Chains A and B, each alone.
Chain A
Amino acid sequence: MKTFNSGFDIYFEDLSASGKVHLEKIGEWMSMTREQYFKSSCPDHLKFVESPIQMFTMGLSITVTGTCRWADKIQAILTTANIKKISFEMHIDFKNERTGNVIAKGVQKVAFVDVIAKKFTNIPDNMKQVIVNFTNL
């Protein structure tokens, strides 16, 4: 299974007293991982950036499964699933590199919309090919 990997550092302010990463931070990492994924996996992603077609999040879930301490490094491991005409899901596991434990699992459902026509639109072809390559069958 092909995965896209990205990394984040843990800062003191990201953690609760028991070492759980705040939900807001995990949500932010999910959005950042999504955009890093397209930037590095889709060579002509700028065609999409400059077009009226935009991604937006239709749903998101986060399951918190472990703890960290500040200065830990987190690896985000992204795969894709449930690829449809206008939407797909990103599944991202966040793994603590020091302990090897997955500290959170996120699922984000992303859809594509034409902001001028104000309606849903198909996943652009150049991006769909990238999305299919990372599917977690």
Chain B
Amino acid sequence: MNQPIFTASKQREFIFELIVTQGDTTPYGSASFINYIRWYNIARDALLAWKNLGFQENLKPLIETEVSFCDIQYKREAILQDEILIKVNAADIKEKGFNLLFTLIRKDNALLISLGKQKICFRNSKTADVVNLPENLVKNILTPIAVDEKSLLFKY
């Protein structure tokens, strides 16, 4: 039986675009590291909000996104007015959680600025229970951008 062949050209990702603003920068003109946390959170929430995630109606007001672990690596500075792209992929999708991998590059020349990773689950803020991932989220949002982390060029 023919197996689908995975190639880099078939890799899909969610892309979010930002510009480095005055308030992001240090006295030396480059964006401070704290922004990388904020930018990755914005990209994550843009991904997880752009479609109906598939939670039951009665759960929707109670569900919150929880990041139990985040890791960020600096590769190169981002400076004022740089247009940057954050590429987001999913990995290690399980019943109750998944990872998001972030690749932050400069838009005009694709230079790598930072890599990030978040371990994510959804918690019922009232009962504190971690809830199963909705099928819709897995099928329509995470799987299309899923990668095998071990096969990637970068170590997140």
Interface residues of A (CB under 8 A from B): 16-18, 20, 23-24, 27-28, 31, 54, 56-64, 115
In the assembled complex, which residues on chain B have CB atoms less than 8 Å from the CB atom of A60? 33, 36-37, 71-72
Interface residues of B (CB under 8 A from A): 28, 32-34, 36-38, 41, 62, 64, 66-74, 123, 125, 128
The residue on B at minimum CB distance from A60 is B72
Number of A-B contacts (CB under 8 A): 57
Task: Indicate if the CB atoms of A63 and B69 lie closer than 8 Å.
Answer: yes
Q: Within the assembled complex, what's the spacing in Å between the Cα atoms of A4 and B10?
A: 50
Contact of A24 (CB < 8 Å), options: B34, B68, B69:
B34
Q: Within the assembled complex, what's the spacing in Å between the Cα atoms of A27 and B67?
A: 14
The residue on A at minimum CB distance from B117 is A61
Task: Indicate if the CB atoms of B71 and A59 lie closer than 8 Å.
Answer: yes
Task: Indicate if the CB atoms of A56 and B128 lie closer than 8 Å.
Answer: no
Given A16-B125, A56-B74, check contact A31 B68 (CB 8 Å).
no
Task: Indicate if the CB atoms of B128 and A18 lie closer than 8 Å.
Answer: yes
Q: Within the assembled complex, what's the spacing in Å between the Cα atoms of A56 and B34?
A: 11
Q: Within the assembled complex, what's the spacing in Å between the Cα atoms of A31 and B34?
A: 8
Task: Indicate if the CB atoms of A59 and B70 lie closer than 8 Å.
Answer: no
The residue on B at minimum CB distance from A31 is B34
In the assembled complex, which residues on chain A have CB atoms less than 8 Å from the CB atom of B128? 18
Given A17-B125, A64-B69, check contact A23 B64 (CB 8 Å).
no
Report the minimum CB–CB distance from B129 to chain A (whole Å).
10
In the assembled complex, which residues on chain B have CB atoms less than 8 Å from the CB atom of A56? 33, 74
Contact of A61 (CB < 8 Å), options: B32, B64, B70:
B70
Task: Indicate if the CB atoms of B68 and A59 lie closer than 8 Å.
Answer: no
Report the minimum CB–CB distance from A105 to chain B (whole Å).
10
In the assembled complex, which residues on chain A have CB atoms less than 8 Å from the CB atom of B41? 23-24
Task: Indicate if the CB atoms of A59 and B64 lie closer than 8 Å.
Answer: no
In the assembled complex, which residues on chain A have CB atoms less than 8 Å from the CB atom of B72? 59-61
Task: Indicate if the CB atoms of A27 and B123 lie closer than 8 Å.
Answer: no
